[in-house]
Chain A
């Protein structure tokens, strides 16, 4: 319930900033969620040290997130405008293709065994160390966790290879 508590406590702070900088309430909610995720990942990585007030840190992360989002939106608008020209710009198409491939990875992840999915999520998303993963999942040591992570990664790649050609054939 810590995440929800953080959201409720700092919702007004982040919402005020985002809405006063061209965002909507929905944008503010998304930015605050992203901010809390960053904090969570930092805490899980083990090397996080808070040198300021938590509200100051969260507002700083939220500002960066919102600025990045604004830049991303501006870039997309510019690319869409350039795509209307005759010569075109292939970068937006690449973005769409990249987005589809990310979705393919997610679908492949859902087909994995729960333990494999958990190992990969702990390592790549929460950025935990192999030793921490071993302790969390009850492996003997970090080497076992490393081996398990390698096996799961190969399994995911196989799933991607298996389903990628079908999609490419469809498209």
Chain B
């Protein structure tokens, strides 16, 4: 074996990687011991391979470190999501569920009716039935009271006794409701008694509970009479309130018929003072007559004034009267005021609507300034007098008006 053979056959490399046969290895070692040049070449080859392997190891270690980092970052992120989900679940268990129970416990019967209409309807029907029977019993007892006014305490005990014994074990809320019904009936009975004393035979006033359902407008027949005290409406400023309906989109509103445009969506109302003269036209203040009206009161003013509700092209509405029921005033004055009355539409075009209704009775006093007009769907307008606690339902299509609620 000579140096040329060793170089051609890569014996240095094969020796380092132990790929030589036993015979080749012995000959190679024998030559290597005698040849300095081959020893140098073997050393170079060893460093050559060591260098490549060292570089390979460094690259691979870097690759391992990078992969470990990526996987740990990925695991950390997924762990965070899991942890978030756990936290959310714990929050739901300890906050939301008790909150819902608390809400159910603290919500009044009206809200519960919205949440569980079927159950509440059943309960209401049952309670109404019981209340009706109790009312009938109480009416009888009130009649007895009218005949025997010197024994009110006995009547009360009789009224209490009129409640079936089986209902005494019912829930406190239901008992409270029953008690309220009894009180309402008692008030109605007392009102009727007072009316009888005044020589009138009016039907008992509807209870507050029965009349508070705004969502179920019940038109009262126009023939049904009711006592109201009409209070004066701020005559000192000789001005009436102009309520401006603020349209959300003026352009859209103008492009459609007013009734349609207004009734499509409820409008926000702003109360603005606007001077009005006796003819009901905005912006024409009659300063000369203001003092007179203030002195004369509202009676003369309204008696000559046709009640007007005017919608203009920019969505404004003008209302010029307020009524308020007041039993005491009614008792004192003995006046009657219709709960509902016809409305006559005097003008109607694409941009405006004018309705007129006539009050025959004089308005003696009007001390409220809170008025609200709300456009409901299907061209229904609701006029709310907050102080008067009365809502009026104006059907623009049918040209009719009726009271829909009393507080």
Known contacts: A37-B61, A125-B53. The answer to whether A102 contacts B47 by CB under 8 A is yes
User: A8–B71 contact, CB under 8 A?
Assistant: yes
CA of A130 to CA of B169, assembled, Å: 98
Contacts of B117 in A (CB 8 A): none
Interface residues of B in 76-115 (CB under 8 A from A): none
User: A106–B51 contact, CB under 8 A?
Assistant: yes
User: How many B residues touch A, CB cutoff 8 Å?
Assistant: 26
The answer to the question of A134 belonging to the interface, with a C-beta cut-off of 8 Å to chain B, is: no
Interface residues of A in 34-70 (CB under 8 A from B): 34, 36-37, 40
User: B49–A124 contact, CB under 8 A?
Assistant: yes
User: A7–B68 contact, CB under 8 A?
Assistant: yes
Interface residues of A in 1-35 (CB under 8 A from B): 1, 3-5, 7-8, 30, 33-34
The answer to the question of A77 belonging to the interface, with a C-beta cut-off of 8 Å to chain B, is: no
Interface residues of B in 32-69 (CB under 8 A from A): 44, 47-61, 63-69
By size class, the interface of chain A is 20 to 34
Interchain CB contact (< 8 A) of A4 among B47, B55, B68: B68
The answer to the question of A115 belonging to the interface, with a C-beta cut-off of 8 Å to chain B, is: no
Interchain CB contact (< 8 A) of A102 among B50, B61, B71, B72: B50
Interface residues of B in 231-273 (CB under 8 A from A): none
User: B71–A5 contact, CB under 8 A?
Assistant: yes
CA of A34 to CA of B64, assembled, Å: 10
CA of A8 to CA of B71, assembled, Å: 9
CA of A30 to CA of B57, assembled, Å: 11
DSSP class of B's interface residues: helix, strand, loop or mixed? helix
User: A101–B47 contact, CB under 8 A?
Assistant: yes
CA of A80 to CA of B63, assembled, Å: 34
Query: How far apart are B62's CB and chain A's nearest CB, in angstroms?
Result: 10
Contacts of A121 in B (CB 8 A): 52, 55-56, 59
Known contacts: A101-B47, A105-B47, A105-B48. The answer to whether A33 contacts B64 by CB under 8 A is yes
Contacts of A145 in B (CB 8 A): none
The answer to the question of B399 belonging to the interface, with a C-beta cut-off of 8 Å to chain A, is: no
CA of A77 to CA of B56, assembled, Å: 27
Query: How far apart are A145's CB and chain B's nearest CB, in angstroms?
Result: 14
The answer to the question of B296 belonging to the interface, with a C-beta cut-off of 8 Å to chain A, is: no
The answer to the question of B121 belonging to the interface, with a C-beta cut-off of 8 Å to chain A, is: no
Known contacts: A4-B67, A5-B67, A8-B72. The answer to whether A124 contacts B47 by CB under 8 A is no
The answer to the question of A98 belonging to the interface, with a C-beta cut-off of 8 Å to chain B, is: yes
**Which chain B residue shows the least CB distance to A98?**
B47
User: B51–A7 contact, CB under 8 A?
Assistant: no
Interface residues of A in 96-131 (CB under 8 A from B): 98, 101-106, 108-109, 120-121, 124-126
CA of A23 to CA of B16, assembled, Å: 31
User: B48–A156 contact, CB under 8 A?
Assistant: yes
Contacts of A143 in B (CB 8 A): none
User: A102–B67 contact, CB under 8 A?
Assistant: no
Interchain CB contact (< 8 A) of B51 among A30, A104, A126: A104
User: A3–B51 contact, CB under 8 A?
Assistant: no
**Which chain A residue shows the least CB distance to B60?**
A37
The answer to the question of B213 belonging to the interface, with a C-beta cut-off of 8 Å to chain A, is: no
Known contacts: A37-B57, A106-B55. The answer to whether A4 contacts B48 by CB under 8 A is no
Query: How far apart are B152's CB and chain A's nearest CB, in angstroms?
Result: 89
Pick the 6 closest A-B CB pairs, nearest first.
Answer: A105-B51, A4-B67, A125-B56, A124-B52, A4-B68, A102-B51
Interface pairs (30), CB distance under 8 Å? A1-B71, A3-B64, A4-B66, A4-B68, A4-B71, A5-B67, A7-B64, A7-B67, A8-B72, A33-B60, A33-B61, A34-B57, A37-B56, A98-B50, A101-B47, A101-B51, A102-B54, A105-B47, A105-B50, A105-B52, A106-B51, A109-B52, A120-B52, A121-B55, A121-B59, A124-B53, A126-B56, A153-B48, A157-B44, A157-B48
Q: A4-B69, A8-B71 are in contact. List 19 more A-B contacts (CB 8 A).
A: A1-B71, A3-B60, A3-B63, A3-B64, A4-B71, A5-B67, A5-B71, A7-B67, A34-B57, A104-B51, A105-B48, A105-B52, A120-B52, A121-B55, A124-B49, A124-B53, A125-B55, A157-B48, A160-B44
